[in-house]
Amino acid sequence: MDHEIIFVDDGSTDGTREWLKTVGPALVAGPVSALNPGLRASGSPTTRFLLNERNLGFAGACNRGASAAQGELLFFLNNDLVFLPRWFEPMLAAFGRFPRAGLVGNVQVNFITGAADHTRIVFNCKGKPEHDTARGPGLPFYRRVPALTGACFGIRRATWQKLGGFDEGFVNGCEDVDLCFRAAHHGLVNYVARHSVVRHHVSASAGRKLRDEQNTARLVQRWRHAIARLAARDWCRHYLSLHEEEPRDYPDPALARDCFLYRGRLLPRPTARILLGVHLAIEAELERWEKLAG
C-alpha cells in the first residue's frame, strides 16, 4: 500500500474510542515495548487504531504507534494540528534530497492568532530549549536545525529503529529534542521544511506543562556540552545587555570583546571564555532544578 494511518488513543474518556471503531480495525496489543510492542492486525488496511489501556504520555504513545507501522517513512502528527494545503510534499521530498536526513519538521503557526509558533528549537542563555518563531526572508527552502518539535515531523523507519524511538523517561516534553540530538550524534542532519506549514492548537493537552522543569533538567544533564555550544550566542547577548548603557563597565573586557565578535558572527565558534560563562549559567540552573526536586 502507498500509505497507512495509525491512530493511537492514549487512554481517552471523551468518546474518541467509540469513534475510532468507525474508521478501521483495531490493533491487538501485547507487551509494551518501544520497538516491539506485540501488535498485530488482520490484513493490511490503510487506517487502523490502537487503544492504550492507560495513558502512556507522548513518548510512549508515539513509540507504540510507530511499532505498528510498516512503511519506510514515519510521520508523527499531533491530534491538535490543522493541515494546510501542500504541507506534506516538502517534508516528503526532503528524504529524497538528503540521504543523511535525521528528523524533518516544518513551520507551525498558532491556530488562533496565525502568528509563527515554531520554526526550530533554539537554546537560551540558561541552556533551556525554546521555540524560535523567526520566518525572515533569505532563509533556505530547507533549513538545517539542531532540533525541532515532535508535534509534526518525519523520520525514516530505519533511523527510528536505530535510535530506539523516544526515550520514555521524558514525560510530555523534551523527548523530541533528545531524539534530534541522538540523530545528530549518529552523523545525521535535522531539517525544517520552511514551505510546509500547519496550524497548531499550542499545548492544548491537559497537563502538558506539568513536568517541564524535570524534563529540561534530564535533557541538559544528558547533552550539556552540545547545549552549551548552542546556547552560547544567546548567552553573549545576555552578557552584553548587562552593561549596554556603559560598555566601559564590563568586568571582563576580554570576555566582552569575545561576545561582541561571536554574536556578530565574526568568530566561527565560541571561545573558551564564552563557554565557561555558559557552563556556569547551566550549573546554576542544575542547582535550582536539584532544589526543586528535593
DSSP string, 116-180: EEESEEEE-TTS-EEEE----TT--SEEEESB--TTEEEEEHHHHHHHTS--TTS-SSSHHHHHH
- Which among 196, 222, 248 is the end of a domain? 222
- Which among 33, 55, 71 is the end of a domain? 71
pLDDT score, position 36: 43
* Residues 92 and 216 grouped into a single domain: yes
Question: What's the predicted TM-score (pTM) here?
Answer: 0.90
Over residues 114-160, the pLDDT tens digits come to 999 999 999 999 999 999 999 877 788 999 999 999 999 999 999 99
Over residues 223-235, the pLDDT tens digits come to 999 999 999 999 9
Residue 37 in contact with residue 67, Cβ under 8 Å? yes
- Provide the domain count of the chain: 3
pLDDT score, position 132: 96
Over residues 149-194, the pLDDT tens digits come to 999 999 999 999 999 999 999 999 999 999 999 999 999 999 999 9
* Residues 148 and 113 grouped into a single domain: yes
* Residues 84 and 213 grouped into a single domain: yes
pLDDT score, position 204: 58
Who's near 184: CB < 8 A, 6+ residues apart?
A: 102, 146, 190, 226
* Residues 90 and 208 grouped into a single domain: yes
pLDDT of 80 > 80? The answer is: yes
* Residues 59 and 153 grouped into a single domain: no
* Residues 142 and 87 grouped into a single domain: yes
* Residues 128 and 237 grouped into a single domain: no
pLDDT score, position 53: 87
* Residues 265 and 205 grouped into a single domain: no
* Residues 194 and 265 grouped into a single domain: no
Q: What torsion, rounded to 10 degrees, do the Cα atoms 286, 287, 290, 291 define?
A: -140
* Residues 10 and 102 grouped into a single domain: no
DSSP state of 28: B
- Which among 54, 71, 88 is the end of a domain? 71
Rg (CA), the chain: 21
Q: Which domain holds residue 279?
A: 223-293
Q: What is the mean pLDDT of the chain?
A: 90
